[in-house]
Amino acid sequence: MVTGAANGIGRAVALGLAAHGAAVVATDLDGEGCEAVVAASDGRVLAVESDVSDPASVEGAADRTLEWGGRIDALVHCAAVVLHGVDEPRRPWDQWRDVDWDVYLSVNVQGAWNVCRSVAPHMAAQGYGKIVLFSSQAVGAPPALLAPYTASKAAVIGLMRSLAVEVGDKGIRVNAIAPGLILTDRVCAGLTDDYGEAQRARTPLGRLGAPEDLVGPVMFFVSEQSDFVTGQVLTVDGGMVFAL
Protein backbone atom coordinates (compact mmCIF):
# COMPACT_ATOMS: atom_id res chain seq x y z
CA MET A 1 0.00 0.00 0.00
CA VAL A 2 1.58 3.26 -1.21
CA THR A 3 0.07 6.61 -0.22
CA GLY A 4 0.61 9.79 -2.21
CA ALA A 5 0.99 7.60 -5.28
CA ALA A 6 -0.53 9.91 -7.89
CA ASN A 7 2.64 11.90 -8.46
CA GLY A 8 6.23 12.54 -7.46
CA ILE A 9 7.99 10.14 -5.14
CA GLY A 10 4.86 8.12 -4.41
CA ARG A 11 4.23 7.49 -8.10
CA ALA A 12 7.83 6.42 -8.70
CA VAL A 13 7.72 4.09 -5.69
CA ALA A 14 4.41 2.52 -6.70
CA LEU A 15 5.61 1.90 -10.26
CA GLY A 16 8.99 0.66 -9.07
CA LEU A 17 7.53 -1.84 -6.63
CA ALA A 18 5.06 -3.09 -9.22
CA ALA A 19 7.87 -3.49 -11.77
CA HIS A 20 9.65 -5.76 -9.29
CA GLY A 21 6.63 -8.00 -8.87
CA ALA A 22 4.79 -6.50 -5.91
CA ALA A 23 1.01 -6.22 -5.90
CA VAL A 24 0.54 -2.50 -5.18
CA VAL A 25 -2.43 -0.47 -3.99
CA ALA A 26 -1.83 3.13 -5.07
CA THR A 27 -3.75 5.60 -2.91
CA ASP A 28 -4.02 9.35 -3.21
CA LEU A 29 -6.52 12.18 -2.92
CA ASP A 30 -6.07 12.48 -6.69
CA GLY A 31 -7.99 9.45 -7.89
CA GLU A 32 -7.34 10.16 -11.57
CA GLY A 33 -3.63 10.32 -10.86
CA CYS A 34 -3.80 6.89 -9.27
CA GLU A 35 -5.62 5.53 -12.30
CA ALA A 36 -2.79 6.90 -14.44
CA VAL A 37 -0.34 4.88 -12.33
CA VAL A 38 -2.37 1.76 -13.07
CA ALA A 39 -2.27 2.56 -16.79
CA ALA A 40 1.50 3.17 -16.70
CA SER A 41 2.30 -0.05 -14.86
CA ASP A 42 2.89 -3.47 -16.34
CA GLY A 43 2.33 -5.01 -12.93
CA ARG A 44 -0.58 -5.61 -10.60
CA VAL A 45 -1.78 -2.22 -9.32
CA LEU A 46 -5.09 -1.08 -7.83
CA ALA A 47 -6.03 2.60 -7.61
CA VAL A 48 -7.88 3.79 -4.50
CA GLU A 49 -8.84 7.41 -3.89
CA SER A 50 -8.13 8.30 -0.27
CA ASP A 51 -7.46 11.34 1.93
CA VAL A 52 -4.81 10.55 4.56
CA SER A 53 -6.05 13.35 6.81
CA ASP A 54 -9.47 11.65 7.05
CA PRO A 55 -9.41 8.56 9.33
CA ALA A 56 -12.53 7.08 7.75
CA SER A 57 -11.10 7.47 4.25
CA VAL A 58 -7.85 5.80 5.28
CA GLU A 59 -9.70 2.96 6.97
CA GLY A 60 -11.68 2.46 3.79
CA ALA A 61 -8.49 2.30 1.73
CA ALA A 62 -7.02 -0.31 4.09
CA ASP A 63 -10.20 -2.38 3.87
CA ARG A 64 -10.16 -2.16 0.07
CA THR A 65 -6.52 -3.26 0.07
CA LEU A 66 -7.36 -6.30 2.17
CA GLU A 67 -10.32 -7.19 -0.02
CA TRP A 68 -8.15 -7.01 -3.13
CA GLY A 69 -4.90 -8.53 -1.91
CA GLY A 70 -5.85 -10.54 1.16
CA ARG A 71 -3.10 -9.03 3.33
CA ILE A 72 -0.91 -5.95 3.73
CA ASP A 73 2.79 -6.80 3.89
CA ALA A 74 4.08 -3.25 3.53
CA LEU A 75 2.91 0.32 3.93
CA VAL A 76 4.90 3.08 2.22
CA HIS A 77 3.55 6.45 3.32
CA CYS A 78 4.60 9.16 0.86
CA ALA A 79 1.61 11.52 1.04
CA ALA A 80 2.52 14.96 2.38
CA VAL A 81 2.14 18.70 2.06
CA VAL A 82 5.43 20.46 1.25
CA LEU A 83 4.49 24.01 0.24
CA HIS A 84 1.10 25.24 1.45
CA GLY A 85 -0.22 28.62 0.39
CA VAL A 86 -0.11 29.60 -3.26
CA ASP A 87 0.23 33.30 -2.41
CA GLU A 88 3.20 32.92 -0.05
CA PRO A 89 4.32 29.31 0.51
CA ARG A 90 7.47 30.39 2.39
CA ARG A 91 7.51 32.89 5.23
CA PRO A 92 9.30 33.71 8.51
CA TRP A 93 8.43 31.46 11.44
CA ASP A 94 6.30 34.09 13.22
CA GLN A 95 4.21 34.93 10.15
CA TRP A 96 2.64 31.54 9.62
CA ARG A 97 -1.09 31.42 10.31
CA ASP A 98 -2.82 28.87 12.51
CA VAL A 99 -4.65 27.54 9.47
CA ASP A 100 -1.32 26.81 7.76
CA TRP A 101 -0.03 24.89 10.77
CA ASP A 102 -3.29 22.95 10.84
CA VAL A 103 -2.80 21.83 7.22
CA TYR A 104 0.78 20.67 7.77
CA LEU A 105 -0.08 18.85 10.98
CA SER A 106 -3.31 17.25 9.73
CA VAL A 107 -1.70 15.87 6.56
CA ASN A 108 1.93 15.25 7.51
CA VAL A 109 1.53 14.15 11.14
CA GLN A 110 -2.07 13.06 11.62
CA GLY A 111 -1.99 11.51 8.16
CA ALA A 112 0.98 9.34 9.10
CA TRP A 113 -0.78 8.33 12.31
CA ASN A 114 -4.00 7.55 10.45
CA VAL A 115 -2.38 5.19 7.95
CA CYS A 116 -0.30 3.42 10.60
CA ARG A 117 -3.32 3.01 12.86
CA SER A 118 -5.35 1.52 10.02
CA VAL A 119 -2.70 -0.90 8.75
CA ALA A 120 -0.63 -1.99 11.75
CA PRO A 121 -3.35 -4.11 13.42
CA HIS A 122 -3.64 -6.22 10.27
CA MET A 123 0.13 -6.65 10.14
CA ALA A 124 0.14 -7.64 13.81
CA ALA A 125 -2.54 -10.26 13.14
CA GLN A 126 -0.40 -11.85 10.43
CA GLY A 127 2.77 -11.52 12.52
CA TYR A 128 4.72 -9.55 9.92
CA GLY A 129 4.82 -6.16 8.27
CA LYS A 130 7.00 -3.33 7.03
CA ILE A 131 6.11 0.34 7.49
CA VAL A 132 8.12 3.03 5.72
CA LEU A 133 7.33 6.66 6.53
CA PHE A 134 8.72 9.63 4.63
CA SER A 135 10.34 12.38 6.66
CA SER A 136 12.73 14.94 5.16
CA GLN A 137 16.34 16.02 5.06
CA ALA A 138 14.94 19.31 6.36
CA VAL A 139 14.86 17.83 9.87
CA GLY A 140 18.64 17.51 9.93
CA ALA A 141 19.35 20.66 7.92
CA PRO A 142 16.34 22.97 8.36
CA PRO A 143 15.70 25.40 5.50
CA ALA A 144 14.66 28.94 6.28
CA LEU A 145 11.02 29.98 5.96
CA LEU A 146 9.48 26.49 6.24
CA ALA A 147 9.06 26.05 10.01
CA PRO A 148 5.74 24.15 10.00
CA TYR A 149 6.90 21.74 7.30
CA THR A 150 10.15 21.02 9.12
CA ALA A 151 8.37 20.58 12.45
CA SER A 152 5.84 18.20 10.92
CA LYS A 153 8.55 16.04 9.36
CA ALA A 154 10.43 15.91 12.68
CA ALA A 155 7.22 14.63 14.26
CA VAL A 156 7.11 11.84 11.68
CA ILE A 157 10.49 10.60 12.93
CA GLY A 158 9.23 10.66 16.51
CA LEU A 159 6.15 8.68 15.52
CA MET A 160 8.24 6.18 13.56
CA ARG A 161 10.58 5.49 16.48
CA SER A 162 7.74 5.19 18.97
CA LEU A 163 5.96 2.69 16.75
CA ALA A 164 9.17 0.73 16.17
CA VAL A 165 9.50 0.24 19.93
CA GLU A 166 5.86 -0.69 20.45
CA VAL A 167 5.13 -3.01 17.52
CA GLY A 168 8.43 -4.81 17.11
CA ASP A 169 7.19 -7.76 19.15
CA LYS A 170 4.37 -8.14 16.61
CA GLY A 171 6.86 -8.70 13.79
CA ILE A 172 6.45 -5.18 12.39
CA ARG A 173 9.47 -3.14 11.35
CA VAL A 174 9.06 0.64 11.12
CA ASN A 175 11.61 2.90 9.42
CA ALA A 176 11.78 6.27 7.69
CA ILE A 177 13.39 7.80 4.63
CA ALA A 178 14.50 11.44 4.63
CA PRO A 179 14.83 12.70 1.03
CA GLY A 180 16.74 15.80 0.08
CA LEU A 181 15.69 18.06 -2.77
CA ILE A 182 13.94 15.74 -5.22
CA LEU A 183 12.96 17.00 -8.66
CA THR A 184 9.29 16.11 -8.70
CA ASP A 185 6.98 17.99 -11.05
CA ARG A 186 5.71 20.14 -8.17
CA VAL A 187 9.22 21.00 -6.99
CA CYS A 188 10.35 21.86 -10.51
CA ALA A 189 7.37 24.17 -10.97
CA GLY A 190 8.54 26.36 -8.09
CA LEU A 191 12.30 25.96 -8.48
CA THR A 192 14.33 28.85 -9.88
CA ASP A 193 17.40 28.11 -11.98
CA ASP A 194 19.69 29.92 -9.54
CA TYR A 195 18.41 28.05 -6.49
CA GLY A 196 18.52 24.70 -8.26
CA GLU A 197 22.08 25.28 -9.41
CA ALA A 198 23.15 26.37 -5.92
CA GLN A 199 21.70 23.21 -4.41
CA ARG A 200 23.29 21.02 -7.08
CA ALA A 201 26.67 22.61 -6.42
CA ARG A 202 26.35 21.77 -2.71
CA THR A 203 25.67 18.10 -3.43
CA PRO A 204 28.77 15.84 -3.40
CA LEU A 205 27.29 13.58 -6.07
CA GLY A 206 26.90 16.56 -8.37
CA ARG A 207 23.19 16.39 -9.12
CA LEU A 208 19.79 16.75 -7.51
CA GLY A 209 17.61 13.75 -6.82
CA ALA A 210 14.95 12.20 -9.02
CA PRO A 211 11.84 10.44 -7.68
CA GLU A 212 13.26 7.16 -8.96
CA ASP A 213 16.21 7.53 -6.57
CA LEU A 214 13.87 6.65 -3.73
CA VAL A 215 12.75 3.31 -5.18
CA GLY A 216 15.86 1.37 -4.13
CA PRO A 217 15.81 2.54 -0.50
CA VAL A 218 12.11 1.70 -0.24
CA MET A 219 12.69 -1.73 -1.74
CA PHE A 220 15.36 -2.41 0.89
CA PHE A 221 13.07 -1.44 3.74
CA VAL A 222 10.12 -3.52 2.50
CA SER A 223 12.23 -6.58 1.66
CA GLU A 224 13.49 -9.41 3.83
CA GLN A 225 16.96 -7.85 3.59
CA SER A 226 15.90 -5.34 6.27
CA ASP A 227 14.29 -7.81 8.68
CA PHE A 228 16.71 -6.85 11.47
CA VAL A 229 16.36 -3.10 10.88
CA THR A 230 13.79 -0.95 12.67
CA GLY A 231 13.54 2.55 14.09
CA GLN A 232 16.04 3.95 11.57
CA VAL A 233 16.13 7.03 9.33
CA LEU A 234 17.86 6.76 5.95
CA THR A 235 18.80 10.10 4.38
CA VAL A 236 18.71 10.07 0.58
CA ASP A 237 20.12 13.38 -0.62
CA GLY A 238 23.31 12.73 -2.56
CA GLY A 239 25.34 13.63 0.52
CA MET A 240 24.14 17.24 0.68
CA VAL A 241 23.39 17.28 4.41
CA PHE A 242 26.99 16.34 5.22
CA ALA A 243 28.43 18.99 2.92
CA LEU A 244 26.63 21.96 4.49
Q: Parallel, antiparallel, or unpaired: how do β-strands 24-28 and 45-49 relate?
A: parallel
| Residue 111: other Cβ atoms inside 10 A | 25
Is-catalytic flag, 195?
A: no
- 3-class SS at 150? helix
Catalytic residue among 104, 130, 149, 226: 149
Catalytic residue among 153, 170, 223, 226: 153
The Cα–Cα gap between 1 and 25 comes to 5
| Alpha helices, DSSP H, located in 41-190 | 55-69, 98-104, 110-126, 147-167, 185-189
Nearest to 219 by CA among 180, 177, 178: 177
Is-catalytic flag, 153?
A: yes
Is-catalytic flag, 149?
A: yes
Nearest to 191 by CA among 89, 70, 93, 66: 89
Catalytic residue among 57, 135, 136, 152: 136
Contact indicator for 45, 38 with CB cutoff of 8 Å: yes
Q: Angle at Cα 58 formed by Cα 87 and Cα 172, nearest 5°?
A: 115
The Cα–Cα gap between 119 and 74 comes to 9
Active site residues: 136, 149, 153
